[in-house]
């Protein structure tokens, strides 16, 4: 069984796209439809990589990212953000949440702005997982 990649996105079509890319490159996909479900699956499945959307109802990708990167047990799991939100907007949001009393979090390993080509996504995953 290949290394595990958790895909967190509320859009089923995007999840299907990501699952296909992950599987075709020999990794094992796991799916979650929002940040809350994503956190549960991270804890349960201990994935080798998380592909994370930002805008999702209930717990957003912003919060899940902070949960992951401030957890001793989970902070070393690499995260690739896949979002329609610009990287600078995401980083400014994270900085503001730190300013409002949250812990400082590092930048994500890779930030890809949607739409993403399958080759780009595959290369990104391979670059992190080998």
Partner 1 sequence: MAVVTISRQFGAGGKTLGRMIAEKLGYTFADNDIIQRIAQEANVSANWVEAFEKEAGSKISRMVSSMVSQRLVDRILKDERGYIDEKIYLDYLVLIIAQIADEGNVVILGRGSQYILNDHPDAYHILLIDEFENRVKFMMEHYGMSSRKAVNVVTAEDKRRANLYRKLGKKDYDNPSLYHLVLNRGRLTLDVAMHLACELVYTGKAHPETDR
Residues within the interface to partner 1 (CB under 8 A):
36, 54-55, 57-60, 62-63, 85-86, 88-90, 92-93, 95-97, 99-101
Beta carbon of residue 74, minimum distance to partner 1 (angstroms, whole number): 18
Closer residue to partner 1 (CB): 27 or 65: 65
- Cβ of residue 39: shortest distance to partner 1, in angstroms? 12
Cα–Cα distance for residue pair 94/15, rounded to 1 Å: 24
Q: Closer CB to partner 1, residue 96 or residue 123?
A: 96
Angle at 123 between CA 122 and CA 126, to 5 degrees: 85
Torsion angles phi and psi, residue 14, rounded to 5: -65, -40
Q: How far is the CB of 31 from partner 1 (least distance, A)?
A: 16
In this complex, which beta carbon is closest to partner 1, that of residue 2 or of residue 106? 106
Closest C-alpha to 86, from 107, 114, 110 = 114
Smallest gap from residue 128 Cβ to partner 1 (A): 25
CA dist., res. 78 & res. 52, Å (int): 10
Closest to 50 measured CA to CA, from 60, 36, 64, 70: 64
Nearer to partner 1, 14 or 22 (CB): 14
């Amino acid at each position: 069984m290949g290394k595990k990649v958790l895909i967190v996105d509320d859009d089923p079509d995007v999840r299907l796209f990501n699952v296909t890319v992950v599987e075709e490159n020999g990794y094992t996909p796991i799916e979650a439809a929002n940040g809350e479900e994503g956190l549960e699956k991270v804890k349960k499945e201990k994935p080798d990589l998380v592909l994370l959307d930002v805008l999702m109802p209930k717990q957003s990708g912003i919060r899940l990212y902070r949960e992951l990167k401030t957890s001793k047990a989970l902070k070393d799991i690499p995260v690739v953000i896949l979002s329609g939100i610009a990287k600078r907007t995401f980083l400014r949001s994270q900085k503001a949440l730190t300013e409002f009393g949250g812990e400082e979090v590092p930048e994500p390993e890779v930030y890809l702005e949607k739409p993403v080509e399958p080759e780009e996504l595959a290369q990104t995953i391979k670059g992190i997982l080998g």
